[in-house]
Amino acid sequence: MHGTGDEMGCPRDARRPFAVIFDVGNVLVDWQPDLLYRSLIPDDAVRAGFLAEVATKEWHFQHDAGRPFAETSAELIARHPDFAEAIAAWGPRFGEQVAPMPGMSAIVDALHAGGVPLYAITNFSHEFWPPFARDHAAIFDRFAGVVVSGAEKLVKPDAAIYRLALARFGLEPGEALFVDDREDNIAGAAKVGLHTHLFTGVEPLRQALLDYRLLDPDMPLSPKKERHA
C-alpha cells in the first residue's frame, strides 16, 4: 500500500518523489530480541516470559525516546534481580538482536546506483546507534542523512520528527517516499505530506519503487549474501 498524504493509489507524475526515506528496524534490518536471548536464556518458556514481561518492547522504547540505558536497566534490574545479567546485556549486545532483512541490501544498492538520495528516520537509542551503524556501514555509508529519535528526543509517529528530518535533509514532503513497517508511523508521515509505503516485504516495496519510477525495472533481485559491514 502506498500513497501521498490523504491520496492513496498510483502516484502522479507531477508529485513523483525523487528521494527515499527508510525506517531501519524491520525494514532495512530484521530486529528480533530473541536472536540474542536464545543463547543467554536457553529455556524457551523462561525466555518467552522474559521478553514478554520483563524486557518488553515498551520498556525498550524508552531508549528510542532518549533515556539512557544505565537508568532503564538499573530500574528493571531492581524489579527483576533474577534477570540482572540478561537485562544488563540488552544495551551492550543490542547488535546481536539484529539480522539482515533478505533482499534489502540489493534494493539499497540499486537505488544508490541509480542516483536516488537515501535517508532514514529511525526510532533508535542514541547510545545503541553508533555501534550499530558501524556494524552496518555497508548499508548506511550510502545514506545522505539519518535522524535518530533518541538523539532528538522525538519519536515517530510525532509529526515533529518528520518535519525536523525534512528540514535537515533539505526536502519538501512531496519530494520523498517514506517506507516503514508500522501503520501508525505511515499515518504520521502521510499527515505531513510525505509519499508513503507500508513495508510488508521486499517484493511489494520493489513494485512501489517501480511505480514511482525510482527503481530501474531491469534491476535483478537475485539472492545474495546480505552484508553487515
Whether 120 and 174 map to the same domain: the answer is yes
Whether 56 and 42 map to the same domain: the answer is yes
Local confidence band at 105 (pLDDT 50, 70, 90 cut-offs): very high
pLDDT for residue 7 is more than 60 = no
How many angstroms separate the Cα of 85 from the Cα of each of 44, 59, 91?
17, 16, 11
Domain boundary among 68, 97, 126: 97
Determine the number of helices (DSSP H) and then strands (DSSP E) in the chain.
12, 9
DSSP state of 109: H
E strand spans, the chain = 2-4, 7-8, 19-22, 29-31, 98-100, 118-122, 145-148, 176-180, 195-198
Three-state DSSP state, 122: strand
Asked if residue 43 belongs to a domain, the reply is: yes
pLDDT for residue 76 is more than 80 = yes
* pTM for the full predicted model: 0.89
Q: How many domains does one find in the chain? A: 2
The domain containing residue 125 runs over which residues? 2-28+101-211
Whether 109 and 24 map to the same domain: the answer is yes
- CA 18, 164, 180 angle in degrees (round to 5)? 55
The CATH number of residue 156's host domain is: 3.40.50.1000
